[in-house]
Amino acid sequence: MRLIRQEEIYRGRVFTVRRDVVEVEGKARTWDVVAHPGAVVVLPVDGDDLLLVRQYRHPAGETLLELVAGTCEPGEDPAVTAQRELQEEAGFRAGRLTKLAEFYSAPGFCSEKLHLFVAEELTPGRLPMDEDEQIELVRMSLDEAVGMALAGQLRDAKTLAGVLLYARHRGR
């Protein structure tokens, strides 16, 4: 595979859209790509509780229950992003962050790589939220979260992945 040409079509606050022309097996193929700097997903664990956030997601047209998440600044260590997002969205700082996995959100058209962290040894520490965020913190047990995932009540892919990977990590 060889890149022939790349053209930026749109530049937004969080991502860009580009058109790539690539030679594949001697033929030119065109891909439209959503280029994203990457993001973190944080599963805060406070004693026996998981902390999730409930927020309205306009593209989905509904309020979703999700794990803490946010976009990395270009070149930023994902662990730094994870601490910042945890403080902004949940109001806590992690004494221990453990990276559980990395995965792509939608590799057919988007370059966004998600870095999943478990945040433990939480202490209060709030940073101001982004001005477009209205978030409610929700506590639940791991069993409740897994039950919601299996019942189709968690509808956000990064949250499904995070909860189920964490349950597997914990031997459930």
Is 102 marked active-site?
no
Catalytic one among 8, 121, 131, 144?
131
Look up residue 60 and give its two tokens: 């989905």
* Token digits of residue 82: 């994870």
- For 62, 91, 115, 121, the CA distances from 44, given in Å and listed in that order, are 23, 11, 14, 9
User: C-alpha distances in angstroms, 9 versus 29, 60, 109, 151?
Assistant: 17, 24, 14, 40
**Residues with catalytic roles:** 131
